[in-house]
Amino acid sequence: MERKKKGKAAYMISVVAENYDIHPQTLRLYEREGLLKPSRSEGNTRLYTQEDLERLELILNLTRDLGVNLAGVEVILNMRQHLEDMQREMQEFVEYVEHEFTNRSPELNQKIHNALVKVTPPHLTLARPRKAERKENI
C-alpha cells in the first residue's frame, strides 16, 4: 500500500465526506472501483491529498452533473490519463527533435544548404509580393 509522504497536506475520510456532502461509504466504493487511490497512514487510515480531491471533484462532476455512471467515469478517467501520457510523450519527442536539429553537424548543414529541394526553416515566413507588384512583373 502507498504510504503518505511527509510534509503533504492530507484529509481523513470523514472530513472529505463532510466537505463534499457524500457518505464515507461512497468514498470507499470509489476506492474499491479503482477511481480513487488515497494514501494510508501508519494506522491504515485513508488520507486524501489535494490531487485526490481534484480527482474526486471530477468524479462528482461526471456523476452528479452529467449523469455518467461509474463504468463511464472509469473509461473517461482512463482516456484522460492516456491523453496526458501521449501529450507528455509528444512533448518529449518534439524536444528531442529540436535538440537534434540544433546540434547537427556542419557537414549536415552543408548538405542541407546544397540540397536540390530547399526547405524554409519553420521560424521563417516568406512574404508574397503584393497584387500590384505581381501585375507589374507579368
- What does pTM read for this prediction? 0.67
Q: What is the pLDDT of residue 129?
A: 65
For 4-10, the CB contacts below 8 A with 24+ separation are 4/39, 4/40, 4/41, 4/47, 4/49, 5/39, 8/49, 9/49, 9/50, 10/39, 10/47, 10/48, 10/49
Average confidence (pLDDT) over 108-123: 73
CB 52: neighbour CB atoms within 10 A? 21
Structural domain boundaries in the chain: 1-68, 70-121
Q: What is the pLDDT of residue 64?
A: 96
DSSP 36-53: ---EE-TT--EEE-HHHH
Q: 4 pLDDT band (50/70/90 cuts)?
A: very low
Q: How many CA atoms lie within 13 A of 100 on its CB side?
A: 6
Q: What is the pLDDT of residue 73?
A: 98
- Does pLDDT of 94 surpass 60? yes
Architecture category of domain 1-68 in CATH: Orthogonal Bundle (1.10)
Q: How far apart are CA 52 and CA 108, in angstroms?
A: 50
